[in-house]
Structures are given as C-alpha cells and as structure tokens.
Amino acid sequence: EAGVTQSPTHLIKTRGQQATLRCSPISGHTSVYWYQQALGLGLQFLLWYDEGEERNRGNFPPRFSGRQFPNYSSELNVNALELEDSALYLCASSHYNEQFFGPGTRLTVL
C-alpha cells in the first residue's frame, strides 16, 4: 500500500511570491491535514480537509489556504511569502483515529 506522498520535496521561493504544495493521501483516506514545522519546533496545525470541505484551520493568517479535490488529494497555497514561512510542511491522512504522515515539503523563503 502506497503511503502519503507530497510534492515537491524542496521548494525555494523569494519573499512576496506564492507557493503551492501538493499531497496525495493513502488510498481510502478521506481526511487530509496540513502542518507547519519550523526548524527545531513542534508541529503546528494548519488545515484539515475532509470529503472536500475545510473542517478546521489553525491559528494562521488567511494567506495560508488550500483545497481538497474529488480524489481527496490536497493543495496548500501560501501567498505573499514571508521569511518566517520557511519550514517543513507536512501532510497527513487519517483512518479512524490514526494519522499517517507524508515525507514533507521543505519550503525555503529567501
């Protein structure tokens, strides 16, 4: 069974640009979660999508947005990038009570 996949692996942008990160959940999982992990810090919850709907979002500004497609894959968009947006962005899909994480996308903002 394939795990959660994320693309790209690394992404380098400059301040003010937009970044798009992609996630494909495990087959059969309908929920997708996005987390931000800044260097040396814990995971911060960003967004939760289930059945195509945004169910909840963390304490992040509106320039962090996303969507979930009919095949349950998801995109995370970050507009007007700031230097502090540099982090590892992790996607997870869930089955019942357990979340399975992807390898992450390392976003660097210069």
Partner 1 sequence: KNQVEQSPQSLIILEGKNCTLQCNYTVSPFSNLRWYKQDTGRGPVSLTIMTFSENTKSNGRYTATLDADTKQSSLHITASQLSDSASYICVVSATTLVKTIFGAGTRLFVKA
* Contacts with partner 1, residue ranges (CB under 8 A): 4, 6, 31, 33, 35, 41-43, 45, 48, 55-56, 88, 90, 92, 94, 97-104, 106
Can you tell me the distance from the alpha carbon of 109 to that of 49, in angstroms, rounded to the nearest whole number?
26
Is the Cβ of residue 41 or residue 80 nearer to partner 1 in the bound state?
Answer: 41
Is the Cβ of residue 50 or residue 79 nearer to partner 1 in the bound state?
Answer: 50
Q: How far is the CB of 42 from partner 1 (least distance, A)?
A: 4
Q: Are 7 and 68 in contact (CB under 8 A)?
A: no
Is the Cβ of residue 16 or residue 52 nearer to partner 1 in the bound state?
Answer: 52
Q: Are 20 and 76 in contact (CB under 8 A)?
A: yes
Q: How far is the CB of 14 from partner 1 (least distance, A)?
A: 22
Q: How far is the CB of 30 from partner 1 (least distance, A)?
A: 12
What's 25's DSSP letter? P
Residue 93's CB is within 10 A of a number of other CB atoms, namely 26
Structural tokens at position 17: 């640009």
Is the Cβ of residue 11 or residue 43 nearer to partner 1 in the bound state?
Answer: 43
Structural tokens at position 101: 């994480």
